[in-house]
Amino acid sequence: MKFLSRSADSSIDQPAWRLIVLSAAIVIGLHHGAVNAGDVVVELVANGVATQGRCVAYSETVGWLESQLGVYQRVDLAYVEGMRRLDGEYAPASRQVHQSHLRDEFGRDGEVRTIGHYVVHGPKGRVKAYADLLDEVYRSTWTYFSRRGFRLKQPEHQLDVVVFTSQADFLEYANSSTSKPVSLNLQGFYDRASNRIYVYDEVAQEEGLTPQARSNLIHEAVHQFCFNTGLLHRLADLPVWLVEGLALTLEHDGNRTGQGAREDRVAVDRLTALQQYRSQNPKFGLAEFLVADKHLFDKSVLDAYAVAWGATFYLMETRSADLTKYLRLLQERDPLLAYTPGERLSDLQSCFGRDLRTLEIHWGRFSDDLQGR
Ligand SMILES: [Zn+2]
């Protein structure tokens, strides 16, 4: 299994893919070595459906093609009945193309505004407030990670953001785009496949965004940032505690800008929930949660969010070099491989020390101190 990036060579070793590439080479008259997977645009036909794009990752059974809009499309290789190379090299769609796609899909009554890396569609007269905030969050989040030694890359694609007029419209769309019903409490989401953010508008008394709408947007913007600047891979099996923990922590302006004392940068409601959870579950094991967090996220999502926030805030405040190392390990993983509890444990131990019980004790003291302030 191999991850293909723009600079990937052509040492292709998987049987299904080799078969496809060989047939493609025959069809389009190319020598094997001439195929640069990063720039080549192909069309795969599976079950009568044609999918076009460049290959971003593949296994023996699945290929992922990226459209020019940055949408990831899954193709089941067992059902591929045809492939051809399309003319020209892969090029991300222009800002204008993103704008017109959003208008076509979400209505011409709305307004589309562009700023920095963003293309934002929303209710007329309301989009500027969202666009300005997105641009500010992008710059402060960039500074935050750069200060901690991360080498980030600028997003290759325009970043699409859709602001629905109401929560009802938002929920209707969210329900129509997924196979299982979404929670009525859903306030926004970043969709890894389409690379888009979806939120809904809430007007504050003074015309701006309500505090809730503001923090919803920032939360999803941090997710989108992480998946577009090389920090996290959109296809990867990632620890949910870390993905959510980064967004929950960086929701706070002071954490992104590095301003204010530690106690002023605490998410007070998350800390209260965390301390309540710890007091009710004296045998709670942080190490077990970091290795396998799905159980708590499924059983009690607010408790899981509180622990995810608490763990990430602690690591950022006291172990940021080790957290940086852990994120780098995640970046190096094959995005199509499952991340097993055993691998998670050994990666955590290599970054935070073999004895994760010690980490938990220090974390407990840190959390108690925060609450005591
Ligand atoms: Zn989230």
Gap from CA of 308 to ligand 1 centroid (Å): 11
Question: E-strand spans in the chain?
Answer: 2-3, 40-46, 49-58, 62-66, 72-76, 80-89, 111-115, 118-122, 159-164, 188-191, 196-200
Gap from CA of 305 to ligand 1 centroid (Å): 9
Residue 287 has pLDDT above 60, yes or no: yes
Gap from CA of 41 to ligand 1 centroid (Å): 32
Residue where the block lists tokens 């002071």: 254
Residue 21: band (very low, low, confident or very high) from pLDDT cuts 50, 70, 90: low
> How large is the average pLDDT for residues 205-211?
88
Residue 8 has pLDDT above 70, yes or no: no
pLDDT digits (tens, 9 = 90+) for 301-331: 999 999 999 999 999 999 989 999 999 999 9
**What pLDDT is stored for residue 12 in this prediction?**
37
Gap from CA of 16 to ligand 1 centroid (Å): 35
**What pLDDT is stored for residue 19 in this prediction?**
54
In this structure, CATH architecture of domain 95-228: 3-Layer(aba) Sandwich (3.40)
**What pLDDT is stored for residue 365 in this prediction?**
96
Q: Where in the chain is the domain with CATH 2.30.30.100?
A: 2-89
In this structure, CATH architecture of domain 2-89: Roll (2.30)
Averaged pLDDT score across all residues of the chain? 89
pLDDT digits (tens, 9 = 90+) for 112-167: 999 999 999 999 999 999 999 999 999 999 999 988 888 899 999 999 999 999 99
Gap from CA of 196 to ligand 1 centroid (Å): 13
Gap from CA of 213 to ligand 1 centroid (Å): 14
For residue 94, the 8-state DSSP code is P
How distant, in Å, are the alpha carbons of 87, 145, 206, 371 from that of 321?
A: 45, 11, 41, 25
Q: Where in the chain is the domain with CATH 3.40.30.160?
A: 95-228
Gap from CA of 26 to ligand 1 centroid (Å): 45
Gap from CA of 219 to ligand 1 centroid (Å): 6
Q: With CA atoms as reference, report the closest residue to 22 among 32, 12, 14.
A: 32
Residue 168: enclosing H or E segment and its boundaries? helix 167-176
**What pLDDT is stored for residue 18 in this prediction?**
53
